[in-house]
Chains A and B, each alone.
Chain A
Amino acid sequence: MSNVANTQKKNGFLAGTANYVDERVGVAGILKEFGRKIFPDHWSFMLGEVALYSFLVLLLSGTFLTFFFQPSMTDVIYDGVYAPLKGAHMSIAYSSSLDITFEVRGGLLMRQVHHWSALLFVAAAGLHMLRVFFTGAFRKPREINWVVGFVLFVLGMAAGFTGYSLPDDLLSGNGLRIIDGMIKGVPVIGTGISSLLFGGEFPGHAIVGRLYSLHIMLIPALILVFLAVHLFMLVIHKHTHYSGPGKKDTNVVGYPLMPVYVAKAGGFFFIVFGVIMLIATFFTINPIWNYGGYDPSPVSAGTQPDWYIGWLDGALRLAPTGIEFMIGDYTVSTNILLPLVISLVFLAAVAIYPFVENWVTGDKREHHVLDRPRNAPVRTAIGAAGVTFYAVLWAGASTDLIATNFKMNLNQVLLSMQISLIILPIVAFLVTKRVCLALQRKDKEIAIHGRESGRIVRLPHGEYIEVHEPLDPHDLYKLVDFKDYKPTLARPNAQGKITVAARLRSSLSKFYFEDRIAPATQTEIDEAAHHAHELEVEVQKAIESAK
């Protein structure tokens, strides 16, 4: 105690504050535990940070907006400063959005900050998911955290859509109308659900207020909870690191939280915020004053949803003509159900992927060293197929714009999208897998024979060779440190029966690991080095004799 008191005197205010806080909160223990925690460094680890910081910016800008926005659908006659809409009937929600834009200093800026950071939040979360997928960061012990992250991504889309609809402008109103149509297409319960959501017939007077509750309370609260769990598990697991010299599954290599990561990550928050502010200052997003208030009759051509809803809208567009049918007197809207089911299956596949791969490999160890995507060719190819599938659906939401901008026939654009949705993922899978295997072979070649030195030598018997130089051991290790799996046969269980599950696992393991390139081993490298040495002796002899 007396020591603390002494330091307090010596160092003045800072130590005094620290002592005050510790005696009441016990913060010293926390700091001792976490203050020098090691975080590895890589640009791709910042994608999740971008998502986190965009979310903080969303909270800040969103709170500002709630002070001015009025989520009411009561009809008013607009009497604000925006002349083109003066005297028009509109909801209070839309009119207060116009007031934020044109009558509050910095209001337009904050609206644009909020919208841009929402777009960035979903984009960064999506890229972060791709990073985690392609590097295998979802493997044990992080499978559950993958699911938590997946839920966050879905919540992000929900937050985006509920917010998008709040200003009650023509564009977002048509978006809601599409949602209403989709809900009504659900067999048996669709009409009832639509009435519950809209408080009666579409559009009613309730939906904006209800979306507002979801958007500013329920969804952000859920995001905060899942975010807390996500980060808590990150601390428990410690961050993964890329394979390389000194990196093992049993350690974490990087820089201490204090001071390096406090400065880097803290600074990065300000950079993300600053860049969003910069974009919001110079680039208009969602100019609601151009659309007018919601009216069920007009619509503008070439409208697009926010980017993250695009794939769902694309799925609706790509449904083939005339697949709705009747069972007796009841209508089955397959043209809505099919896209809905396909989207849900796609999402479910994303959520359960880590468990499938773990079941196939049967590898129950903890994995903290990340894979380079090429070193897991089939996983990378599956990811590429998934990205392609998503991308075609996403492009499908713009069939009309593609047709008009490139002067193509709309029908043909749509037909080629429908075909692409099935063909392109398969092509992407095959190409990606082959590219990965080729890259692995190249790595192995370089690991074993060294890098090309550019020195061409002619041997006495006339042969030309290029002399290869051995790699630096640190560079070499990056090329050879990866997990190697081989397919298994279906084996009988204790009762002597080969179960269906065993058969399935066997074929899946073949699918995954049939084409496999094992990492270069020390033996292979030594043999090649021995051979190279002999060659070098021969070269030296040739040089000597030439003299």
Chain B
Amino acid sequence: MSEKSKAVANKSSGAYSDHEYEKGLTVIHEDAVANPGIEPHRVRMTDKSEKHEKNAVRQVALLFSLSMLGSALALYAYFAFPISEDLTTVRINTLFLGVGITLGLLGIGIGAVHWAKTLMPDNEVSEERHLTRGSDEKRAAAIEIINLANQESGFSRRKLIRRTLYGSLALFPLPGIILFADLGPNLGDKLRHTAWKQGTRLTKDPYGSPIKASEVTVGSVFHVIPEGLNPDQEDYLEQKAKAAVLLVRVDQDELVETAERATWSYQGIVAYSKICTHVGCPVALYEQHTHHLLCPCHQSTFDLVNGCKVVFGPATRPLPQLPIAVDSEGYLIAQSDFHEPVGPSFWDRSVQQ
């Protein structure tokens, strides 16, 4: 034993029985009520009467037999109730298979517990606990091992080795972390642009048929995607997730428009991004009576006739407006892309690129 470990061992030797842990704010009552010991055992019917015992045995065996029956039923049901094009067969297959397996499981479970509760001894037994910490001898031995290992390796003595080891251990995970950088590309300005361009026709979601301004009656709502967006293209969902638009016509007198946006609507027809500025759910509910748009996820509410400003809920920014016009054939078209990024806020969304 080295000098150091001897000192530690001496310090702790004989100390730390349960009563020598600090008691802190504990109040010890000298005249506390004494522990009367385990309650006397209450004899069960199955201990006293052979008839009850035999009954219990039969019940357990019955439950185990029920389990066998259930498992057999499940096997039978698998073949007897196949599923087909008729969807009620799915229901019947699920029902009988499920009931069979349930019986197979519950029979074993309830049987085993019943067996334990009625037929196995129910005398409470007391077992001594030991303190979680090792005994003083064990702790001294452990310290000695650590010291010996330290001495033999020279871990504390050889500073140069120790410091270079720390350095190498600190650096070696970094390549592993950087490997994850290719999980996703730098998005660049993708979040700032959508599939809308000057002259893109507004079409119905999901069929893609163009919309004539005359079709849009006062109070009607259209779910709109840009023309040319089709499900076969690789980035269909990504484009749709940014470009989805809600088109509504209101009484022109009710529209409150800023001078800057006066030309963005067409005879009371307005188009707003459908992607909530809170966390991006589709703002799909339109209340005709109040002209409010409601996001069903977190109830952000936007005032359609007033620039889609937030009137309620956790969102802060208005829904971006798509400037629209009508082409020579009377179809609704976009004047340009949105003038700001759509969807949820992100850190540098207002930074000019």
Chains A and B are bound partners: yes
**In this assembly, does A45 line the interface, its C-beta being within 8 Å of a C-beta of chain B?**
no
CB–CB B90/A102 < 8 A: yes
**In this assembly, does B173 line the interface, its C-beta being within 8 Å of a C-beta of chain A?**
no
Interface string of B251-279 (1 = CB under 8 A from A): 00000000000000000000000111011
Docked complex Cα distance between A423 and B105 (Å): 47
Q: Which of A125-133, A159-167, A243-251 lies at the interface with chain B?
A: A243-251
**In this assembly, does B102 line the interface, its C-beta being within 8 Å of a C-beta of chain A?**
yes
Interface string of A265-294 (1 = CB under 8 A from B): 011111111110110111000000000001
CB–CB B26/A253 < 8 A: no
CB–CB A108/B316 < 8 A: no
Q: Across the interface, which residues of B come within 8 angstroms of A198, CB to CB?
A: 184
CB–CB A484/B36 < 8 A: no
Docked complex Cα distance between A252 and B124 (Å): 10
CB–CB A476/B244 < 8 A: no
Interface string of A93-106 (1 = CB under 8 A from B): 00000000111011
Which residue of chain A has the shortest Cβ distance to B132 in the bound complex? Answer: A141
Interface string of A72-107 (1 = CB under 8 A from B): 000100000110000001000000000001110110
Q: Across the interface, which residues of B come within 8 angstroms of A267, CB to CB?
A: 108-113, 115-116
Q: Across the interface, which residues of B come within 8 angstroms of A321, CB to CB?
A: 310, 312-316
**In this assembly, does A385 line the interface, its C-beta being within 8 Å of a C-beta of chain B?**
no
Interfacial residues of chain A within 223-266, with CB under 8 A of chain B in the complex: 236-238, 244-256, 259-260, 263-264, 266
Docked complex Cα distance between A318 and B300 (Å): 11
Report if A185-B132 is in contact (Cβ < 8 Å); known contacts: A253-B38, A260-B116, A323-B316: no
- Closest chain-B Cβ to A513's Cβ sits at a distance in Å of 7
**In this assembly, does A6 line the interface, its C-beta being within 8 Å of a C-beta of chain B?**
no
Q: Which of B16-24, B46-54, B142-150, B212-220 lies at the interface with chain A?
A: B16-24
Which residue of chain A has the shortest Cβ distance to B22 in the bound complex? Answer: A364
Which residue of chain B has the shortest Cβ distance to A293 in the bound complex? Answer: B237
CB–CB A191/B310 < 8 A: no
Report if A521-B31 is in contact (Cβ < 8 Å); known contacts: A38-B126, A271-B113: yes
Partner among A278, A411, A481, A509 whose Cβ is within 8 Å of the Cβ of B33:
A481
Q: Which of B1-9, B80-88, B154-162, B321-329 lies at the interface with chain A?
A: B80-88
Report if A196-B180 is in contact (Cβ < 8 Å); known contacts: A185-B346, A237-B132, A484-B26: yes
Q: Which of A25-33, A201-209, A536-544 lies at the interface with chain B?
A: A201-209
- Closest chain-A Cβ to B59's Cβ sits at a distance in Å of 14
- Closest chain-A Cβ to B91's Cβ sits at a distance in Å of 9
Docked complex Cα distance between A518 and B29 (Å): 9
Partner among B38, B124, B131 whose Cβ is within 8 Å of the Cβ of A255:
B124
Docked complex Cα distance between A433 and B18 (Å): 31
- Closest chain-B Cβ to A225's Cβ sits at a distance in Å of 19
Docked complex Cα distance between A469 and B21 (Å): 39
Partner among B26, B106, B184, B282 whose Cβ is within 8 Å of the Cβ of A363:
B26
CB–CB B223/A297 < 8 A: yes
Which residue of chain B has the shortest Cβ distance to A411 in the bound complex? Answer: B312
Q: Across the interface, which residues of B come within 8 angstroms of A336, CB to CB?
A: 278-279, 344-345
Q: Which of B93-101, B163-171, B195-203, B331-339 lies at the interface with chain A?
A: B93-101
**In this assembly, does B176 line the interface, its C-beta being within 8 Å of a C-beta of chain A?**
no
Q: Across the interface, which residues of A come within 8 angstroms of B298, CB to CB?
A: 313, 316-317
Interfacial residues of chain A within 203-227, with CB under 8 A of chain B in the complex: 203-204, 206, 210
Extra inter-chain contacts (16) besides given A174-B281, A202-B238, A278-B106, CB under 8 Å: A109-B93, A184-B344, A184-B345, A197-B184, A202-B241, A245-B38, A252-B126, A274-B103, A301-B296, A329-B350, A329-B351, A331-B346, A363-B26, A473-B36, A481-B35, A520-B33
Closest 3 CB pairs of A and B: A362-B24, A181-B279, A281-B98
A-B contacts, 17 listed (Cβ < 8 Å)? A38-B126, A38-B127, A81-B85, A181-B344, A184-B346, A185-B346, A195-B184, A200-B187, A246-B124, A263-B116, A274-B106, A281-B98, A282-B95, A297-B284, A301-B296, A329-B352, A333-B344
Q: Which residues of B contact A (CB under 8 A)?
A: 18, 21-27, 29, 31-39, 78, 82-85, 87, 90, 93-95, 97-99, 101-106, 108-113, 115-117, 120-122, 124-129, 131-132, 180-181, 183-187, 190-191, 205-206, 223, 225, 231-232, 235-238, 240-242, 244, 274-276, 278-282, 284-285, 296-299, 310, 312-317, 343-352
Q: Which residues of A contact B (CB under 8 A)?
A: 37-38, 75, 81-82, 89, 101-103, 105-106, 108-109, 112, 141, 174, 177-178, 180-182, 184-188, 190-192, 194-204, 206, 210, 236-238, 244-256, 259-260, 263-264, 266-275, 277-278, 280-282, 294-303, 313, 316-324, 326, 329-331, 333, 335-336, 360-366, 368, 399-400, 410-411, 414, 447, 473-474, 476-477, 480-481, 483-488, 509, 513, 518-523, 525
